[in-house]
Structure 1
Amino acid sequence: MGGGEVDKFRRIIGLLLIVVGITIIATVVYKKVETIGKQKAIIEMFESGISEGTSTGNKETVNLDEINGYTPIAIIEIPSIKLSQALVEGISDDVLKYFLGHFTDSAAPGEKGNFAVAGHRVSDYTDAFINLYKVKAGDEVIVKTQDKKYTYVVEDNFIVEPEDVQVLDNTKEATMTLVTCTVGAKQRVIVKGKLISEESLSS
């Protein structure tokens, strides 16, 4: 192969690498945009229902049984890490791909028991809990359902092994457990808290 052919071959390889790089970037962007769209749909539905109740005093029920195939539970906000995410029933791979997921056997928001939530630290689609490790004792976690606002205060943030599932055990009081992976997904970040207030959003 002559020098000219070598240069031509190198140019072709270079162009192919550029095309591959652009394709990878475009795919990642598409996945993130898709996630934002799904999150936005649920958050807008919740906010629409809440505003109906607070502005008129006569709450008009918004159908939240299913949105784009998912069953929304609440909106979770953690002001200290600027998080606002839709919470969906279940922790299947398809749910956690886009949303925070509610452990179905755990307590509902505001109920006595252990209200448990899982979320990805980093994935192709979402990085909802990427900063969960930064949450510290005293921080607030706000959970808004269609008619109530529950405020939990963080009591502890620690790391456990994946098999240490006792962190999900039920409790007598209204408590909260948030779960995500550490870097490398070898361990789990656990945030524990307790309910400190409940406010109606329909009056």
Structure 2
Amino acid sequence: MHSRLRNRLGWLEAGLYLGGVALLAVFFQLRADAELQREQGVRAFEASLADKAASHSGWIPDQELWSDKRIRDYEESIQVDAEPPLALMKIARLGIEVPVYNGTDEFNLNRGAGRIKGTAWIDSPGNLGIAGHRDGFFRGLKDIEIGDEIELRTAGGAVNYRVSSFLIVEPDDVSVLGKTAETTLTLVTCYPFYYVGHAPKRFIVKAEARHPSLKF
């Protein structure tokens, strides 16, 4: 009798073991599938933004307020293969839609806006600084108002910001880019918007995140 009981327990133990192995296999397969879908989503997002930023046959930004020089620089920049943007920023009321690249060198700012290095990463909490040319993509900021909505979309989701203030500072005033505990956005461009030559001031827009869908 004891031998029969041991056999039954042995079969039960073996069954539980095999069942556990099967569940682990399913778990890891689901994780692998989810990771594959995430990577495919990231690639698709990057490809779509790259197409927008680098193809005349697709999306072309609203250039009504742009200077002639900025239009020429933009058209030259999109002929060059480059890294895809990090995000797409929209300010619907102002008609601003601009790809955001990593860094603020002239090449990036000719074809979009640029994340200011040393500020928060695109999909992380903190103060994210983004710069753009006053006679190009950021010309529309001249009409910004407190309460305007800004959407920053990445492959991981979107963060919606609401403009809380705007101000004019000296070029060497970097306090506006200081670290914050909250998820904030600081837009920087030269000022005055229609100044001839090198503009002597900087126009700053501050915005705070509301209901972010990104998983930090």
2:207 — aligned with what? 193
Shift of 1:111: 2.2
After superposition, the Cα gap between the structure-2 partners of 1:32 and 1:94, relative to the gap in structure 1 and judged at 3 Å, is closer
1:118 — aligned with what? 131
1:57 — aligned with what? none
Larger deviation, residues 110-119 vs 67-76: 67-76
Q: Does the residue aligned with 1:105 lie in a helix, a strand or coil? A: coil
2:183 — aligned with what? 174
Deviations 1:48-105 (A, max 9, x none): xxxxxxxxxxxxxxxxxxx922341100000121110100000112211221000121
Shift of 1:33: 3.5
Residues 1-203 of structure 1: pairs in structure 2 closer than 5 A? 30-34=72-76, 37=78, 68-122=81-135, 127-183=136-192, 184=195, 185-199=199-213
After superposition, the Cα gap between the structure-2 partners of 1:89 and 1:29, relative to the gap in structure 1 and judged at 3 Å, is closer
Gaps of 5+ in 1: 1-25, 39-66
Shift of 1:172: 1.0
Deviations 1:109-157 (A, max 9, x none): 34221011000011xxxx1000112111110110000121110110001
How far apart, in 1, do the equivalents of 2:181 and 2:69 lie?
A: 46
Answer 1 or 2: which has greater strand percent. 1
RCO comparison, higher one (Cα < 8 Å, 6+): 1
2:40 — aligned with what? none
Shift of 1:163: 1.2
Which amino acid counterpart does residue 121 of structure 1 have in structure 2? R
Percent same amino acid at aligned positions? 30
How far apart, in 2, do the equivalents of 1:117 and 1:72 lie?
A: 13
Q: Does the residue aligned with 1:144 lie in a helix, a strand or coil? A: strand
TM-score using structure 1 length: 0.64
Shift of 1:30: 4.9
Gaps of 5+ in 2: 1-67
How far apart, in 2, do the equivalents of 1:77 and 1:114 lie?
A: 18
Count of paired positions = 143
Q: Indicate the structure (1 or 2) with the bigger Cα radius of gyration.
A: 2
